[in-house]
Structure 1
Amino acid sequence: MNGEWLICGRDGRLSVYQLSGDFVLCRAERVPGGPWDAPRRIGGDQRVRPVLAIGQGIDSYGHLISWGPDTGLVHSTHFRPLLAPLDWHPIAHPDGKGDESFEPAVAVDHQGRAHVFVRNAAGGLNMRAQALKGGWGPWRDLKGADLQGAPAAAAGKDGRIEVYVAARGAVLYGRQPQPATVFELEETVEARAVPGTLKALATSEENTTLFFVDEDGRLCAWRPGSKPVELLDAAGTGRIAAVRCELDGQDCTLLAQRSATGGVSFAAFPSEQEWAGASWTRSGAELPPDVEVSLALDSDGRVVAAAQSPSTGALFLARRKDEPGLALTPWQAV
């Protein structure tokens, strides 16, 4: 899954999304901080491919993108955790037809419009966005060549959407010059990013930061206009999760990744101050070895971490304790 699959809805309830065979499942808290309901299928009996991209807007609505069985990409909106998400709605194939294995990304601007990015058959990047008055605009070819892995997208300054994508020996970056305008790929930096490890996060009012693992096993940070910075060794394998949060009164970025030695590892540092250094703290060696991790802030602004096992569907949660530092409660099965 591409994006943070643990989100906090506008009513304060947490919800998670899970892949289960040909379906996407959703689970939600019954009340903020309370027990969870049983998994529910998104879209009823409509089947999808085992791939999912998730994005969330400032309105807290969740936007889900997957591949339909024969209709290209499909989209669903989830307004509140205890409401059922909308049925899957086809948004077509970027090439008209063809390969459906390319993993998409989705980000939501400050007008609540989803922007979907996916590689095309020529190895470039395509984008389609929701229109201001309903429906969807056309697919647009953003160019690029020899792109690899899934893109990473986020809403940056003024809600402008920014996107990063790996190519052979480089990372490409694009953004909207102004909100709700035509998209442009505008910068390339030399980097050997491992496909499938990219995570984009708005780390200040002005900047987004891309986090990725390079081929030497180093977790790197990059902001356009500069050079990538090696932050620390990767904790293990799997996607990086990231959230901007306040720790002891300081604006921080928290990273998480599945640890090579079991469980999940966390690292925090002052936002956009990679030079301050960071180190991993491992948590939960008792977790299944294939867990994926996601991070969010709950309705009280506390960090919440979720870990789920794709092979078993098991879900675990840990919350930040009411004490200084980044102390988390033990993992609890949901």
Structure 2
Amino acid sequence: MANRSQAPTDSSHGPSTAPLLQGAWLTRGVEGRFSAYLPRDGEVVRWTEQPDGSWSGPVSLGGPGPAGRLTPFLAVGQGADRYVHLVGVRPAGTGEGHVELVHSVQFQTGRPALEWRSIGHSNATSRWTGNPAVAVDAQGRAYVFMRNGGGGLSARAQKDTGGWHPWWDLKGSRTDPSPVAVTNGSGFVELYTAHEKGLVRYVQSESGGRPVREDVVPASVTMGSLAATTGPSGHVTLFYLDQEGQVGAWSPDRSLEPTVLGKAVGTGRLDATRCLVDGAESTVLAQRSADGRLALAVLPSERETEGVHWAETGERHAELTAVLSSDLDGRLVAMARTGGGRVLTARQRAGAEGLRLDGWRPIG
């Protein structure tokens, strides 16, 4: 599952009034229907796809609590059980600018989510230190990651018996405010982040274990640009922008060193997912182009070095945040939130040669 969508220019300035999204905010249920989640007016709202392809919503999943309302940020992760884990940020009430993380779960498509519960903050002085990321392991345990006050990474994981482990200090320094969490084909959680000297991976060696920091791999990286997806081999590939505006890829378990794939079409964060194109396993990248349209590039999965070629779709928007997924048949499903608050979706056209989308339409 890819982890997605926040522009690099947003990632280093703390909470803002513009919605920030991290992770798979478009999710697919066991039966194949999709749900979309967005922070709005201090709460989280959800749209649900109906059996006939129409959408219902938005429905409030709450957010207000005794410590205040949610900030306009949301991280989303989904496990193999298709349960959707939501992580928000709300004022902590312990001082001006202090925040805490809150967590909720939706177990079934269209059903109510659990009450939001605090999972605290990695620092005693709980000021904003970065945007959380969440991933879910093969046993359905959520792992929440965030940059801590020292500039390294901290994590909190669910216990098998319920509740949460204390915050783990995963070490590190001067890391990206927006790390990317993903689950590999073995069901272990991996975390990727940027450093001023390159790229860093944190990876589990055993189920339920604390992710361990590996050495920095030298690379030119723009912070806030990372996206990751798990390929058909079960290995993770990270995509990023370098400081010259080019798209790079890195897959340590495939021995792929940071490699330039080609020119980016914009400066915003990448998004990535797997789908089928002409019956072949493919990876699709998305980015808002310089003129405000959504651009897509199709790469053969785990053969990224063949290069990246972009094609633009849809209308121009001053702001555009996109997320990609795939349906039960392996066809691409794209969703975008525009600066005006509209939510649009488009699907890969069945039977068409190459990657062609049906027209974009609002979900409500």
Shorter-chain TM-score above 0.5: yes
Instruction: Quote the Cα distance in structure 2 between the aligned partners of 1:107 and 1:213.
Output: 22
Give matches, 1:82-121, under 5 Å: 82-121=110-149
Give matches, 1:195-210, under 5 Å: 195-210=223-238
Give SS of 1:83's match.
coil
Moved more, 259-268 or 180-189: 180-189
Matched, 1:42 2:61: yes
Matched, 1:2 2:32: no
Instruction: Quote the Cα distance in structure 2 between the aligned partners of 1:164 and 1:138.
Output: 21
Give matches, 1:233-244, under 5 Å: 233-244=263-274
Contact 2:44–2:63, Cα closer than 8 Å, also in 1? no
Structure 1 counterpart of 2:242: 214
Q: Kindly provide the amino acid, as one letter, of the partner of residue 319 in structure 1.
A: R
Contact 1:229–1:274, Cα closer than 8 Å, also in 2? no
Give matches, 1:76-225, under 5 Å: 76-224=104-252, 225=255
Give SS of 1:275's match.
helix
Instruction: Quote the Cα distance in structure 1 between the aligned partners of 2:241 and 2:113.
Output: 33
Measured after TM superposition, the shift of residue 301 of structure 1 is 2.5
Figure out how many residues of one structure are paired with residues of the other and give that number.
Answer: 331
Measured after TM superposition, the shift of residue 101 of structure 1 is 4.7
Structure 1 counterpart of 2:299: 269
Give SS of 1:325's match.
coil
Measured after TM superposition, the shift of residue 92 of structure 1 is 0.9
Instruction: Quote the Cα distance in structure 2 between the aligned partners of 1:298 and 1:287.
Output: 26
Structure 2 counterpart of 1:63: 85
Contact 1:13–1:299, Cα closer than 8 Å, also in 2? no
Q: Kindly provide the amino acid, as one letter, of the partner of residue 177 in structure 1.
A: S
Q: Kindly provide the amino acid, as one letter, of the partner of residue 141 in structure 1.
A: D
Q: Kindly provide the amino acid, as one letter, of the partner of residue 172 in structure 1.
A: V
Structure 1 counterpart of 2:357: 328
Contact 2:63–2:70, Cα closer than 8 Å, also in 1? no
**Bigger RCO (CA 8 Å, 6+ sep):** 2
Structure 2 counterpart of 1:20: 40
Moved more, 224-233 or 249-258: 224-233
Contact 1:73–1:90, Cα closer than 8 Å, also in 2? yes
TM-score for the superposition, normalised by structure 2? 0.87
Structure 2 counterpart of 1:231: 261
Contact 1:72–1:91, Cα closer than 8 Å, also in 2? yes
Matched, 1:255 2:274: no
Q: Kindly provide the amino acid, as one letter, of the partner of residue 260 in structure 1.
A: A
Measured after TM superposition, the shift of residue 195 of structure 1 is 1.5
TM-score for the superposition, normalised by structure 1? 0.95
Contact 2:263–2:308, Cα closer than 8 Å, also in 1? no
Measured after TM superposition, the shift of residue 83 of structure 1 is 0.7
1:31-71 deviation per Cα after TM superposition (whole angstroms, max 9, x unaligned)? 2x521112122225442112111111111111111112216
1:161-198 deviation per Cα after TM superposition (whole angstroms, max 9, x unaligned)? 01111111211111001222222001311123212111
Give SS of 1:37's match.
strand
Matched, 1:302 2:331: yes
Instruction: Quote the Cα distance in structure 2 between the aligned partners of 1:307 and 1:287.
Output: 12
Instruction: Quote the Cα distance in structure 2 between the aligned partners of 1:98 and 1:69.
Output: 9
Q: Kindly provide the amino acid, as one letter, of the partner of residue 318 in structure 1.
A: A
Q: What CA RMSD, in Å, does the superposition of the two structures yield over aligned residues?
A: 1.5
Structure 1 counterpart of 2:319: 290
Q: Kindly provide the amino acid, as one letter, of the partner of residue 333 in structure 1.
A: P
Q: Kindly provide the amino acid, as one letter, of the partner of residue 268 in structure 2.
A: G
Q: Kindly provide the amino acid, as one letter, of the partner of residue 35 in structure 1.
A: S
Give SS of 1:143's match.
coil
Give SS of 2:186's match.
helix
